[in-house]
Amino acid sequence: MIDAAQTADQIFVLAKQWVLGYSPAALRPLLSAVLSVVPVLIAFPLLFAITTVLERKGLGRIQNRYGPNRAGPFGFFQPIADGIKSLTKEDIIPSSADHAVHLLAPVVLVVAAFLTYAVLPIGRGMVIANLNAGVLFFFAVGTLVELAVFMAGWSSHSKYSLLGAMRAVAQMISYEIPLVLASVVAIMAAGSLSPVGIVAAQAGYSGILPHWFVFTPWGFAGFILFLVAATAESNRSPFDLPEGESEIIAGYYIEYSGFKFALFFLGEYLGMFASSAMAITLFLGGWSAPLSFLTWVPSYVWFFLKLLAMIAGFIWIRGTLPRLRMDQLMGLAWKFMLPMALLNIVAAAVWKFIPSPPVRWAVCAAILIFPCVVLSRGLRRAKKLQVRSYQFAE
Amino acid sequence: MVGEGILKGLAETARNFFGSYVDGERLTTVQFPEQRLAPIEATRDFPFLVYDGEDWHAGMRCVACQICEKECPPKCIYIEKSADKKPDAMGKAQFYPAKFDIDISVCMSCQICVEVCPFEAIKMDTEFELSTDDRFGGLLLHKDKLAKSNEHYHRIHPTEAAAVDAGLAAERMAAEARTKAAAEAKAAADTKAAEAKTAAASMQASGGGTQ
Amino acid sequence: MSAASVAGEVMEELDAAVRPADDFGEQLLEVSMGPQHPSTHGVFRMNVALDGERVMKLKPVFGYLHRNHEKIAEQETYLGSMPYTDRLDYFCSITNNWAYALAVEKLAGITVPERAEYLRVITGELTRLQNHACLIGFLLQDMGASGTPLMYAFREREKILDLFEALTGARMMCNYMRFGGCRVDLPAGWLEQARGVVAGFPKFLDEFEQLLQSNEILMERTQGVGVLSKELAINAAVSGPMARASGVNYDLRKVDRYGIYDRFAFRVPLGAHGDVYDRYMIRVLEMRESVKILEQAMKEIPGGPIVDPKTKIRGFRPKPGEAYGRIEAPKGELGFYLVSDGSANPYRYRVRPPSLINLTVLEDMCLGRNVADVVIILGSVDIVLGEVDR
């Protein structure tokens, strides 16, 4: 019984070892790398295709309509149709555009997005590169995305794209800081920068409940902060001002068409998946099961289930919230999230030094909740926002 | 509470999301063309010419008075009057349209032609799937395409057609009553004239007899 | 002079108007928003000069939808212009018809029977409901709420459009009013259906408000944005919900008391700040007031004729003179100025379009704001290009 579950859990690892057993020794390192990378290169774009359909259908249902339902059963061949469309469209480049940079921008975006998957543990023992400083590598490579965005906006030589690129760069740089600071608490608690180590620190169970970091006050706050910053990093609603569709139409990729446009789309979604996957690794226990009696389900299944849940959350938020304006976005990052992230680190540190559970819950929650309320009230008052009442004339 | 409005909004969209699977009110899409909405009776799309009976040429009510052509705001009707006359529903000889063209790419479905027609000859149809790839004449409808029977009119606008038929029948009865009264009056006048003649003749005869 | 060179000169003049000199000798970024733009509510163009993200100068360019409506009306009979008025503010065709009918009735001295007045009020207020619901949906769509509130608003609008189709035969181009009354009477069962729709409307408004009322993002983006002061609103002849949001107590239904509006009990909401949030909230409150009017009208509607029996459909020749008829359209004061010379066609036919007049203060509201705000402010003005350009 346990053997079967363990085999199912390790099936990909075992398959890779089996193939390597049949290959010549000289080629083994190269073949091992290729066999690790190719499944990721297949799985995540496939997830991207499914996500585009799910998003359109999800948004449709929220808006009291069907999503796409003509291409294939329930519309699930829609990504194939979209792929064919984007491949066969004419590639229009503005004559005054910088051709080399214009071509390289989507390439850099996609390459950077894929590189971040190298350090994410998708299952038990299933990580491409088990780096000691994996989290650091993740954030470092993730910032290449900002470069690609700016390359796209600048090289298009158009006012709208320049506006979009400026906005995008300002936004992404501002939200890097809360993103990284929010992840510091998980690193502190696990005591290592390696994602594998962080997941291992959360893999235990007390009773049936897991040791996930999200079930602590500082972990919960860190999770929320990380999610908000990740939404901003991947330019998703409500932070999609750089591609503000109803204002500057498509922002930094307005001059792109055809396959390059599809690559931008792919890169944006891959970035979203990578950030979600890192959030799962840092706070939601990575590939570990939520309840101790559910560990017979393979680890990668749990990982993808959690990923799908987070994608559903992103879609839900996109369907509900209007867009934040540039200065409000920046205000949120610098005036609210940065102080909260710093306080979160203090709370996480305090947690380690108080032994008894109820006391440390109370103290850490107090450290987080009171300043949050005070800060948000103060910011609101500064903006003079009110729920108004109106007088009537007869 | 901070973020309360956002949470309420999220609850609202979640309610719509799950509601769309169970409640018809929250998923109002009709999968055209496999499903269609029930047609609303009063709907109007483009005009058509009504004919009574089986023969669309003999039974057509239009008498080419050209009032609709004059009143049409975008001037999309073109009528050519015939040279000869044909009998209408009440037997009276009337002109008929030798040509009756409506350019439905110009027509704006305002229904003024229907309002001004004194003979209930032109009514609004409900067909809208009229697209064609012949862009030079495909949307210019001639008399033959425009002629549709009174049964068709009853099918698409039952209440209106019933009222029109009742009105036409009342007119016909009034016309018949008038002709009957006129005939009776004429007959009465004839008898009176005949009596007067015989009276005058007899007076003359008696007058002549006296002399 | 060829057409191309004339066009070139015009473009140069326009560009010169927009390319301002700046104190620091730096060049400002000139962006042309439109005419193809997802958020300009039609073919409308704004030449915006930006300093970074802030608007330094804004010049609206319109006329892309000019269709010679007023000139066509000089060739058409009075009745023939009625279907063209549907297409002015194509969202609210019935109120357009009403304003025109009112002007002609003033010109020719025609009276309207009571049942027709009630029908006018009922259809007019239904028009106001669907216009305001859709406008709020559009405003939120412009703000990036990805169409969700818009779809809810359109769901309700469909019910009202079904009512219009059952009554007038068309969903949007209703062509319903005639001089001296209405064209067609209510079919069987219409009033019950309308009562059902109106009864369900407050629930929709509550759901809508829950989605948006205390939404922090919405409040941040609309409060304090696009402020129109009361003095400027009065001086610029701004009317309708936009003026009332700035605190101007001017609702033609109360001022002119045209039709039978003095029989209904309703209030006029007034805003205090004149920003986008106020304009949005005023429209929500006006929808609630319209529901009240509708309930009263549908209860009290009497029987009787629906058109003055003396009016002629053909050969209508009003005596020489002039008349100005105006109503409180959902967008503002919609007026028709007619000059008659005794013939079957008007000598002069002029539309006072509320959208255009309200649009003249766009630059004042947008100066110093961000580009993102320009789109929202334009949305709150509530323009329909059919009316702006005619």
Paired with C31 in beta bridges are: C48
Largest CA distance in chain A: 91
CB contact under 8 A, B73 and C152: no
Length of chain C: 390
pLDDT tier at C11, thresholds 50, 70, 90: low
Residue A291 touches chain B, beta carbons under 8 Å? no
What residues in B contact C97, CB-CB < 8 Å?
A: none
- What average pLDDT score do residues A86-99 get? 84
Closest residue to A316, CB basis, from B2, B10, B29: B10
For helices A299-320 and A217-233, angle between their N-to-C axes, nearest 10 degrees: 70
User: What pLDDT is stored for residue C326 in this prediction?
Assistant: 92
Task: Measure B33 CA to nearest chain A CA, in Å.
Answer: 12
Mean pLDDT score, A224-246: 81
Count CB atoms within 10 A of the CB of residue B174.
10
Q: Which residues of B touch A227 (CB under 8 A)?
A: none
The answer to whether residues A181 and A338 touch, using CB atoms and an 8 Å cutoff, is yes
Say how far apart CA C45 and CA C48 lie, in whole Å: 9
Is the pLDDT score of B88 beyond 80? Answer: no
What domains lie within chain B, and their CATH numbers? 45-153 (3.30.70.3270)
pLDDT at position A287 over 90: no
CB contact under 8 A, C215 and A386: no
Q: In the structure, what pLDDT confidence band is assigned to residue A295 with cuts at 50, 70 and 90?
A: confident
- Give the residue on C whose Cα is nearest the Cα of B43: C169
Task: Compute the count of residue pairs across chains B and C with CB atoms less than 8 Å apart.
Answer: 82
Q: Measuring CA to CA, which residue among A282, A277, A284, A125 is closest to residue A190? A: A282
Cβ contacts of B20 on chain A, cutoff 8 Å: 61-62, 64
User: What share of chain A has pLDDT > 70, as a percent?
Assistant: 97
Residue in the structure block whose two tokens are 């600071």: A181
pLDDT at C9: 62
* C337, β-bridge pairs: C324, C350
Query: Band of the pLDDT at B208, cuts 50, 70, 90?
Result: low
Residue B206 near chain A (CB below 8 Å):
no
The Cα-based distances of C133 to A318, C39, C92, C158, C240 in angstroms read: 22, 17, 12, 11, 16
B5 and C216 Cβ atoms separated by less than 8 Å: yes
The per-residue pLDDT for C51 is 82
Q: pLDDT: is C40 or C168 the higher one? A: C168
**A209-210 and C348-352 strand pairing:** unpaired
More confident residue, A356 or C89: C89
* Residues C6, C23 contacting (CB under 8 angstroms): no
Cα(C133)–Cα(A230) distance, integer angstroms: 34
Whether the Cβ atoms of residue C242 and residue C358 lie closer than 8 Å to each other: yes
Q: Which residue of B has its CA nearest to A378?
A: B2
Contacts of A232 in chain C (CB under 8 A): none
Two structure tokens written together for A247: 């204002």
Measure in Å the smallest separation between the Cα of C11 and chain B Cα atoms: 33
Residue type, B173: M
The pLDDT value recorded for residue C6 is 62
CB-CB neighbors (< 8 A) of B67 in chain C: 314
Q: Select from A238, A320, A388 the Cβ nearest to the Cβ of C148.
A: A320
CA angle at residue A368 from A364 to A372, to 5 degrees?
A: 165
Contact residues on chain B for C170, CB-CB shorter than 8 A: 43-44, 109
**Residue (of B123, B111, B127, B105) closest to B36 by Cα position:** B127
- Least Cα separation, residue C366 to chain B (angstroms): 27
Does pLDDT of B12 surpass 70?
Answer: yes
Chains interfacing with C (3 or more CB pairs < 8 Å): A, B
Instruction: Answer whether residue A245 shows pLDDT above 60.
Output: no
The chains in contact with chain B, meaning 3 or more Cβ pairs closer than 8 Å, are A, C
- Which residues in chain A touch residue C55, judged by CB atoms under 8 angstroms apart? none
Question: In whole angstroms, what is the distance from residue A210 CA to residue A194 CA?
Answer: 20
DSSP B37: P
Q: Give the pLDDT score at B2.
A: 64
Mean pLDDT of C207-216: 75
Contact of A324 with chain C, judged by CB distance below 8 Å, is answered with: yes
Three-class DSSP category at C113: coil
Q: Give the mean pLDDT of A38-49.
A: 91
Q: Does B23 touch chain A (CB under 8 A)?
A: no
Cα of C317 to nearest chain B Cα, Å: 14
Identify the helix (H) or strand (E) that includes residue A203.
none
**Count of A-C CB contacts under 8 Å:** 132
CA–chain centroid gap for A107, Å, is 19
**Quick one: pLDDT at residue A247?**
56
Average pLDDT, integer, range B167-194: 85
Nearest by CB: B2 against A58, A63, A373: A373
For residue A59, give the nearest of C146, C269, C278 by CB distance.
Answer: C146
Distance from CA of A59 to the nearest CA of B (A): 8
**Cβ <8 Å between A390 and C271:** yes
A3/C contact by beta carbon, under 8 A: no
Is C3 a residue whose pLDDT tops 60? Answer: no
Given this model, what pLDDT does residue C338 score? 93
Check CB contact under 8 Å for B27 and A61: yes
Judge whether residue C14 has pLDDT over 60. no
pLDDT band at A1, cuts 50/70/90? low
Backbone angles phi, psi at C341, to 5 degrees: -110, 20
- Confidence check: pLDDT of C25 > 60: no
From the list A231, A131, A146, A144, the residue with the least C-alpha distance to A182 is: A231
CA nearest neighbour of C181 among C260, C123, C116, C119: C116
Spell out which residues of chain B touch residue C188, defining contact as CB-CB under 8 Å: 159
Q: What is the mean pLDDT of residues C265-294?
A: 90
Per-residue pLDDT tens over the stretch A147-182: 888 888 888 877 777 777 887 888 889 999 999 999
- pLDDT of C129 strictly over 90: yes
Residues with Cβ within 8 Å of A8's Cβ and at least 6 positions away in sequence, in order, are A298
- CB A320 to CB B10 under 8 A? yes
B211 near A CB under 8 A: no
Q: Which of A48, A299, A44 is nearest to A196 (CA)?
A: A299
A274/A283 Cα distance (integer angstroms): 14
Q: Could you give the dihedral angle defined by the CA atoms of residues B27, B33, B36 and B41, in that order, rounded to the nearest 10 degrees?
A: 130
Each residue's pLDDT tens digit, B147-176 = 998 899 999 999 888 989 898 888 888 888
Compute the average pLDDT of residues A114-128: 88
Mean predicted lDDT score pLDDT of chain A: 85
Q: Does B35 contact chain A (CB < 8 Å)?
A: no
Flag if A66 and B9 touch (Cβ within 8 Å): no
Residues of A whose CB is below 8 A from B21: 61
Which tops the pLDDT comparison, B88 or A191? A191
